[in-house]
């Protein structure tokens, strides 16, 4: 894409109404726009990052048998009355239509998925199965001041699993954990992310959280110094020792909850009287699990981890483009290289704007595309370009004919 054609622009000033690093950088670099507290628009480059994260999650959810659906946001009050959450869920947005019929604006989809699958599942032979979606969620958050980390409207992947027995659920739970670690590894967060023993909310004693350590975190966790597991502060008074090694030597850290897995047991299948006959003809209530990842929150977390004082440093797997091609008054040569890269399906942002080298480099640092290729008079004379990785200080000169080989090896 040619940068001159992008309708967004970078901003020099930090937005005054944002305290979080992720929102400050993402707004300044033109990835998101704030509509109001906790509600953001994804701009062209921001949406590219979201789509990359979405595809990584989709691949991993498909690999553990997930079937993708798309459920509505407008949800009947009756379903929420059945589970008791119409009155108990504090952050539920409620809407009325002309005839004063009320609806919930989906903050989660247990109330929809259970009666939905119930229409199709009649026998133990149909179980287990796993259904997921990417959907906008709505939650009336009181404090929404952490940029993409806590939204009132936010994109989420939610998977629901259905099982005949606790044992089968536990088995799938382990598979899902592995898929989650694969996701955090693929987006570059494997070093900072710990599985964390946490409160299960109202329906289960404990749950598993995936917490990414960063000073921006709103949670406090205790990481076992021996194992790669942690305990959330909220249950530290009950759980004194490491659930894995039984040790008691912890490091206190701030962390962001980037994913969670809840054992729902029969909490929702009971509400909708969802059971099937087992092999002996006996009625069995199904056991459920719920597995969430917030896409915007994950994007914000990546920015909290990967940035310096000049801007964002995207991991290649989620970067909006692989290459930032910068022409320093060498548009003819740059255009040739640009077309060559496009022809080879390399995602490239081409800075064809009329600006000084300093302005272009500052923007490139702020935007944070992994590889920068600079076309200047000095190197073009030698049929070469200057290549610099965003994450590294040094640049190198390579011949134009070797660009693709370089990018292929990268």
Contact 379, 365 (CB under 8 A): no
Q: How far is the CB of 253 from a copy of itself (least distance, A)?
A: 32
Phi, psi torsion values for 124, nearest 5 degrees: -60, -20
Q: How far is the CB of 59 from a copy of itself (least distance, A)?
A: 15
| Span near a copy of itself by CB under 8 A; candidates 43-51, 231-239, 312-320, 393-401 | 43-51
Laid out side by side, the sheet with 348-351 consists of 348-351, 323-327, 371-375, 384-389, 395-399
Q: Which of 89, 121, 398, 407 binds a copy of itself (CB under 8 A)?
A: 121
Are β-strands 371-375 and 323-327 bridged in parallel, bridged antiparallel, or unpaired? parallel
Contact 8, 44 (CB under 8 A): yes
Distance CA 35, CA 370 (A): 29
- Contact flag: residue 126 with a copy of itself (CB under 8 A): yes
Nearer Cβ to a copy of itself (353/389): 353
β partners of residue 144: none
Site residues for a copy of itself, 141-200, by CB under 8 A, read 142, 152-153
Distance CA 238, CA 153 (A): 33
Count the neighbouring beta carbons within 10 Å of the beta carbon of residue 352. Answer: 17
- Contact flag: residue 355 with a copy of itself (CB under 8 A): no
Site residues for a copy of itself, 375-394, by CB under 8 A, read none
- Contact flag: residue 102 with a copy of itself (CB under 8 A): no
Distance CA 181, CA 389 (A): 27
Contact 227, 250 (CB under 8 A): no
- Contact flag: residue 94 with a copy of itself (CB under 8 A): yes
Nearer Cβ to a copy of itself (16/120): 120
Distance CA 230, CA 199 (A): 13
Q: Which of 89, 116, 227, 391 binds a copy of itself (CB under 8 A)?
A: 116
Q: Who contacts 169 (Cβ-Cβ below 8 Å, separation ≥6)? A: 161, 163, 263, 287, 288, 289
Q: How many CA atoms lie within 13 A of 205 on its CB side?
A: 2
- Contact flag: residue 283 with a copy of itself (CB under 8 A): no
Q: Three-class SS of residue 241?
A: coil
- Contact flag: residue 339 with a copy of itself (CB under 8 A): no
| Span near a copy of itself by CB under 8 A; candidates 94-102, 182-190, 216-224, 228-236 | 94-102
Number of residues near a copy of itself (by CB under 8 A): 49
Q: Which of 57, 105, 176, 318 binds a copy of itself (CB under 8 A)?
A: 105
Q: Which residues bind a copy of itself (CB under 8 A)?
A: 5-9, 30, 33, 35-36, 39-44, 47, 50, 65, 67-76, 93-95, 97-98, 105, 112, 116-117, 119-121, 126, 129, 131, 136, 138, 140, 142, 152-153
């Amino acid at each position: 894409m040619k940068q001159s054609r992008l309708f967004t622009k970078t901003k020099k000033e930090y937005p005054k109404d944002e305290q979080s690093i992720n929102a400050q950088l993402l707004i300044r670099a033109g990835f998101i726009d704030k509509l109001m507290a906790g509600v953001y628009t994804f701009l062209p480059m921001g949406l590219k990052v979201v789509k990359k994260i979405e595809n990584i999650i989709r691949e991993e959810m498909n690999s553990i048998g997930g079937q993708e659906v798309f459920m509505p946001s407008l949800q009947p009050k009756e379903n929420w009355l059945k589970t008791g959450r119409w009155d108990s869920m504090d952050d539920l947005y409620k809407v009325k239509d002309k005839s004063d019929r009320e609806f919930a604006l989906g903050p989660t989809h247990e109330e929809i998925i259970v009666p939905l699958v119930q229409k199709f599942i009649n026998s133990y032979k149909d179980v287990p199965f796993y259904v997921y979606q990417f959907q906008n969620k709505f939650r009336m958050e009181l404090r929404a001041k952490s940029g993409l980390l806590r939204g009132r409207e936010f994109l989420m992947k939610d998977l629901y699993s259905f099982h005949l027995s606790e044992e089968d659920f536990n088995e799938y739970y382990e598979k899902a954990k592995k898929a989650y670690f694969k996701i955090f590894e693929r987006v570059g967060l494997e070093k900072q992310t710990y599985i964390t023993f946490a409160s299960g909310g109202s329906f289960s004693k404990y749950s598993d959280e995936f917490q990414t350590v960063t000073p921006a975190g709103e949670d406090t966790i205790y990481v076992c110094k021996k194992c790669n597991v942690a305990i959330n502060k909220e249950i530290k008074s009950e759980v004194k020792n490491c659930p894995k090694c039984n040790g008691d030597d912890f490091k206190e850290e701030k962390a962001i909850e980037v994913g969670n897995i809840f054992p729902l047991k029969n909490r929702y299948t009971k509400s909708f009287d969802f059971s099937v006959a087992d092999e002996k003809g006996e009625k069995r209530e199904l056991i459920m699990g719920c597995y969430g990842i917030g896409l915007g929150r994950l994007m914000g977390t990546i920015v909290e981890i990967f940035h310096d004082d000049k801007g964002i440093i995207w991991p290649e797997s989620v970067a909006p483009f692989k290459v930032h091609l910068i022409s320093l008054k060498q548009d003819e040569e740059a255009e040739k290289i640009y077309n060559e890269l496009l022809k080879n399906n390399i995602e490239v942002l081409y800075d064809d704007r009329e600006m000084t080298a300093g302005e272009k480099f500052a923007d490139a640092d702020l935007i944070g595309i992994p590889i920068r290729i600079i076309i200047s008079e000095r190197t073009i004379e030698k049929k070469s370009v200057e290549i610099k990785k965003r994450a590294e200080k040094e640049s190198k000169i390579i011949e134009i004919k070797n660009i693709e080989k370089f990018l292929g090896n990268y």
